[in-house]
Structure 1
Amino acid sequence: MGGGPAVVSDGGGYAHLIDNSRPWWRNSRLIFLNLWIVLLLITSSTNGYDGSMMNGLQSLDQWNAAFGTPTGGKLGLLNAIQNIGSLAAYPFAPYVSDGLGRRPAIFIGAAIMIGATILQTASQSVGMFIGARFVIGFGLTFAAAAAPLLVTEIAYPSQRAQATSMYNTLWYLGSIIAAWTTFGTFHIPTSWSWRIPSALQGLPSVIQVGLIWFVPESPRWLVSKGREEQALKTLAYYHARGNAQDPLVEFEFEEIKAAIAFDRDVASNVGWLSLIKSPGNRRRMRIIIALAFFSQWSGNGLVSYYLNKVFDAIGITDPTTQLLINGILNIFNFFVAIVAGLLCDRVGRRRLFLTSTIGMVLFWTLQTICFALNSQHGDKRAAHAFIAFIFLYYGFYDIAFTPLIVSYTVEILPFALRAKGFTLFNFSISLSLIFNQYVNPIAFKRLGWKYYLFYVFWLVFETIFCYYFILETKNRSLEETAA
């Protein structure tokens, strides 16, 4: 085990070392490990909460009255400013995560978000609201850059893929809470109808600040800092009930040490240029950047932030109905994404990506047809079918682009590049979101149903890209996949 990470053709080099004598839920230490992983996963809920909250607030008369019923560029700025704040933090996030550790990065990000959420809830002007959302995005970057890395680096090997897939899936938990919170506060006649949803956005961060120091630090990060004894103790405690001589723990520990030593020898300079220096890393970056943009440019941006505008265009203008559909859609998305994430090792990443893109092409095309029929001929049946196709489209989107984009990104990156590569992934998502949040309301207002045609052709391109470039990685350890 001393010559670098071994690669086996069928993956799963650790499979024969897994203790299958009893299920994981009868192992108290694995139960606690998975509870700490859940604490990390809720980082994604903060992001999901934001998109759904902003969608819901646009249907609240009280929020529109407080901020002058924003439209066009002003509305785009209100939605995009959080991602602009995220962009401002990207130059610092990987250095905090790699330098101070995964846990301190999450703590710093959560603490910043708590302060910003208080400011957002107390906003007295649109400028104050925009400023608070900028700071929320700034803090979110530190937490979101470290949390999925820590999840994938501490998870039990046979549960790693599913656990990391749950990270982006928990986006919908935040979205569900926000959707139903705004639905519940809709009838409050005062500004608390939007202040209550604003305040609840900070709840995940409050929980994390209180509990993050109970979470184990990444064994891979500990080894990279020369703290090998502590790394071995962490692996043994959670993966083998304290037995440092357990074959699985020995395999993991030696593989981690060999992989990090190999990275140091081959890539003595692990700066940003390392991401594009070798053909393998350029291939990684092509896949990672493409998935980041695909995750936001598949038409879902229209539904995530401007669903009420879409409903207005097809004649569904009642705010209660809009909020109700938004709430039900998020619950549907959450359950589909969970099932898909749990199947990622059984079905395989490549098959899930291809199924997802082909299904999105079909049902986005049907949405476009129904939208056109309703716009040109006032066909109410087409409007009702349009709503059904939104659910079916999102069902296929959730098969891959909710659970897999984060887990696939972190598992194809070697440890030395994982924080920087994942930061580039998040940076690409923020760029795509800012473009979406500015362009979508303007383009949709001017083009109407014809704007949907652009996404039909783009989804076809996504399908072709996934067919040629997505590689299968199921049932491999992090080190095997990286090699």
Structure 2
Amino acid sequence: MAIGNVYVIAAIAIIGGALFGFDISSQSAILGTWQYKCYFNQGGPWTTHDECSGPTASTQGGISASMPGGSWVGALASGFISDALGRKSSIMIACVIWLIGCILVCASQNIGMLVVGRFINGLCVGIASAQVPVYVSEIAPPSKRGRLVGAQQWAITWGILIMFYISYGCSFIDGTAAFRVPWGLQMVPALCLLFGMMFLPESPRWLARKDRWEECHAVLTLVHGKGDPNSNFVRKEFQEIKDMHEFERNNADASFLELVKPNMIWRTHIGVFTQIWSQLTGMNVMMLYIVYVFAMAGLTGNNLLVSSSIQYVINVVLTIPALLYVDRWGRRPTLLLGALGMMTFMFANAGLMPSYGSYAGPNGVGNVPEASWSLSGPPSKAVIACTYLFVACYAPTWGPVSWIYPPELFPLRIRGKAVALTTSSNWIFNFALSYFVPPAFVNIQWKVYVVFGVFNAAMFLHVLFAFPETAGKTLEEVEQMFTDPLGPKYIGTPAWKTHKKFHDARLLETGQIDPEKMAQFEHDEGGSRSGSETRGEKVDAPATA
């Protein structure tokens, strides 16, 4: 018997996000410990633990980057796997891959084996990170889609937090068990996800694409109709899926090449840059290499690890407001405010470090070359505070919305491959940053903050002028927004004039309004006013199928 509660479905599916979070903090918490540095030491002979410098900056960059490198490959492959076998099956395949990677990582005898294991783990994360948002977005009702898809980011934050404290606790163990135990425990959430997915329904829109209409209608009835196949919302959504499927079958193919055609390239670039910008915020750098940042601020030993963990707590707690209200806030305001806040605190750190700090020498702080700048006193506390505030800006904004937004942009026929492409752009930039940031801290020191501050300024402008609002619309309505004569390049409706549509979606889902009456509230081609506008809420021009 399949589970029909959308919250339970999302809660199980988003465990795929926790896998990514586990990987991030299993590195960030471990790479500063003497057990890790001594076992994988490349700094020459040592007699005491303090003399272990661990892998070189470039090697550590390669170790960290191997996972996002695998994720890039996995994300690209996920489109083919998902379209052929289904959203549900692709996530389950990812779990099996993760288990294989964890075995290799846990048993690593050298850096080469560690890199291979992390690359295989990355294949899983790439598949899951691309297809979990697709699966949840295709099964969630419009008024809850942002909340449910964004919960993947919350799962990531929980994975980071849980694994960080597991790794911190294990750091008190002598010998290689200090890092082998947490690396082995990463298999637990994958096993939970693998068995949990067995009880979930397949995506109704994927079933429709395979002409399995009875199953499609049954899933809609189970998830959205509370067992009533004749509910208003089920009837409307089933008809929209049929209409859009027929249109797609008669008018378009479903290859990667379609994503760069004139009628699709605009939204492809929006989806790709949503994921690119989410990396260029600098957040994952702060997560993965936070021990370097706080070492530069004068923290050492347990104080360093505990202080680093506070930002993970902030990340978990402040993701919650987005899950509750992102469908009311809308996507555009959330992204704009997040970019503005992160830019502010990046530039603040870029000003504090050269003004009050000094170069720490070629060996860095505490024999860590990447900790190349040294501060003390109140300025160091200000850097720590700005780092926490930066995380507080990212957690309710770009964190969840970067996963919510791309699946909403694309039609069913190409959604699996499109989200695979957009997610792969996330991972290729994650790979680049993971690899190059440690040497960047060595070579340009505090100027790393200037680089990310500029990126945040650029993303603010890009969102302002190019990213349309999708909140509250069904996936079929979003498609109409792009295919309507006024829509494809926003010549008639600029991105900054698009608005969320929340209340009408809620009325329809709860049965308070009939689909036929709903049509009276929508804009027609002549631009008549909608019911939402008469109530004071703006909506977009395209009509509902």
TM-score, with structure 1 as normaliser:
0.90
237, 240, 250: which one pairs with 1:265?
250
Matched, 1:56 2:39: no
Q: After superposition, where does 1:50-129 map in structure 2 within 5 Å?
A: 50-68=23-41, 69-129=54-114
Q: What CA distance in whole angstroms lies between the structure 1 residues aligned with 2:452 and 2:89?
A: 40
> 1:13 — aligned with what?
none
180, 183, 192: which one pairs with 2:177?
192
Matched, 1:348 2:333: no
Q: What CA distance in whole angstroms lies between the structure 1 residues aligned with 2:153 and 2:245?
A: 27
308, 311, 314: which one pairs with 2:297?
314
Q: What CA distance in whole angstroms lies between the structure 1 residues aligned with 2:272 and 2:128?
A: 20
Q: Deviations over 1:167-211 (max 9, x none)?
A: 123210110011111111121112111111101222211112222
> 2:270 — aligned with what?
287
Q: What CA distance in whole angstroms lies between the structure 2 residues aligned with 1:321 and 1:378?
A: 16
17, 24, 33: which one pairs with 2:6?
33
Q: What CA distance in whole angstroms lies between the structure 2 residues aligned with 1:321 and 1:31?
A: 46
User: 1:421 Cα deviation (Å)?
Assistant: 1.0
> 2:474 — aligned with what?
477
Q: Deviations over 1:290-316 (max 9, x none)?
A: 111111111223312211111222222
User: 1:379 Cα deviation (Å)?
Assistant: 4.5
Tell whether the 8 Å contact from 1:314 to 1:374 is kept in structure 2 after alignment.
no
> 1:462 — aligned with what?
459
Q: What CA distance in whole angstroms lies between the structure 2 residues aligned with 1:153 and 1:325?
A: 39
User: 1:215 Cα deviation (Å)?
Assistant: 0.5
164, 169, 174: which one pairs with 2:154?
169
1:180 partner letter: Y
Q: How many residues align?
A: 453
Q: What CA distance in whole angstroms lies between the structure 2 residues aligned with 1:153 and 1:467?
A: 27
More helix by share: 1
Structure 2 gap ranges (5+): 42-53, 359-373, 481-545
409, 414, 428: which one pairs with 1:412?
409
User: 1:30 Cα deviation (Å)?
Assistant: 8.2
Q: What CA distance in whole angstroms lies between the structure 2 residues aligned with 1:458 and 1:155?
A: 33
Give the SS at the match of 2:450: helix
Matched, 1:148 2:143: no
User: 1:243 Cα deviation (Å)?
Assistant: 1.3
> 1:430 — aligned with what?
427
> 2:515 — aligned with what?
none
2:294 partner letter: F
Structure 1 gap ranges (5+): 1-28
Tell whether the 8 Å contact from 1:345 to 1:475 is kept in structure 2 after alignment.
yes
> 2:379 — aligned with what?
382
Q: What CA distance in whole angstroms lies between the structure 2 residues aligned with 1:66 and 1:238?
A: 51
Q: What CA distance in whole angstroms lies between the structure 1 residues aligned with 2:337 and 2:62?
A: 34
Q: What CA distance in whole angstroms lies between the structure 1 residues aligned with 2:128 and 2:343?
A: 34
Give the SS at the match of 1:189: coil
Matched, 1:210 2:204: no
Structure-2 change in CA distance of 1:482 and 1:326 (3 Å):
farther
User: 1:158 Cα deviation (Å)?
Assistant: 2.8
Structure-2 change in CA distance of 1:403 and 1:89 (3 Å):
closer
CA RMSD of aligned residues (A): 1.7
Give the SS at the match of 1:393: helix
Structure-2 change in CA distance of 1:472 and 1:30 (3 Å):
farther
1:64 partner letter: K
Q: What CA distance in whole angstroms lies between the structure 1 residues aligned with 2:375 and 2:186?
A: 39
1:302 partner letter: V
1:447 partner letter: I
> 2:286 — aligned with what?
303
> 2:537 — aligned with what?
none
Structure-2 change in CA distance of 1:324 and 1:379 (3 Å):
closer
Q: What CA distance in whole angstroms lies between the structure 1 residues aligned with 2:302 and 2:66?
A: 27
TM-score, with structure 2 as normaliser:
0.80
Q: Deviations over 1:352-380 (max 9, x none)?
A: 11111111111111121222233239452
Structure-2 change in CA distance of 1:76 and 1:407 (3 Å):
same
Structure-2 change in CA distance of 1:74 and 1:124 (3 Å):
same
User: 1:415 Cα deviation (Å)?
Assistant: 0.9
1:351 partner letter: P
Tell whether the 8 Å contact from 2:140 to 2:148 is kept in structure 1 after alignment.
yes
Q: What CA distance in whole angstroms lies between the structure 2 residues aligned with 1:389 and 1:72?
A: 25
User: 1:482 Cα deviation (Å)?
Assistant: 2.0
1:192 partner letter: A
Q: What CA distance in whole angstroms lies between the structure 2 residues aligned with 1:300 and 1:37?
A: 24
User: 1:463 Cα deviation (Å)?
Assistant: 1.2
Tell whether the 8 Å contact from 1:81 to 1:134 is kept in structure 2 after alignment.
yes
Tell whether the 8 Å contact from 2:131 to 2:420 is kept in structure 1 after alignment.
no
Structure-2 change in CA distance of 1:323 and 1:379 (3 Å):
closer
Q: What CA distance in whole angstroms lies between the structure 2 residues aligned with 1:108 and 1:295?
A: 26
221, 230, 254: which one pairs with 2:215?
230
Tell whether the 8 Å contact from 1:182 to 1:323 is kept in structure 2 after alignment.
no
Q: Please list every run of at least 4 consecutive aligned residues from structure 1 whose deviation after the TM superposition is greater than 4 angstroms.
A: none
User: 1:91 Cα deviation (Å)?
Assistant: 4.2
Q: What CA distance in whole angstroms lies between the structure 2 residues aligned with 1:355 and 1:89?
A: 32
Q: Deviations over 1:17-56 (max 9, x none)?
A: xxxxxxxxxxxx9874321211101101111111111111
Q: After superposition, where does 1:368-379 map in structure 2 within 5 Å?
A: 368-376=350-358, 378-379=375-376
Q: What CA distance in whole angstroms lies between the structure 1 residues aligned with 2:146 and 2:285?
A: 29
User: 1:474 Cα deviation (Å)?
Assistant: 1.6
2:12 partner letter: L
2:176 partner letter: S
Could you say which structure has the larger radius of gyration? 2
Tell whether the 8 Å contact from 1:49 to 1:177 is kept in structure 2 after alignment.
yes
Q: After superposition, where does 1:320-331 map in structure 2 within 5 Å?
A: 320-331=302-313
Tell whether the 8 Å contact from 1:82 to 1:135 is kept in structure 2 after alignment.
yes
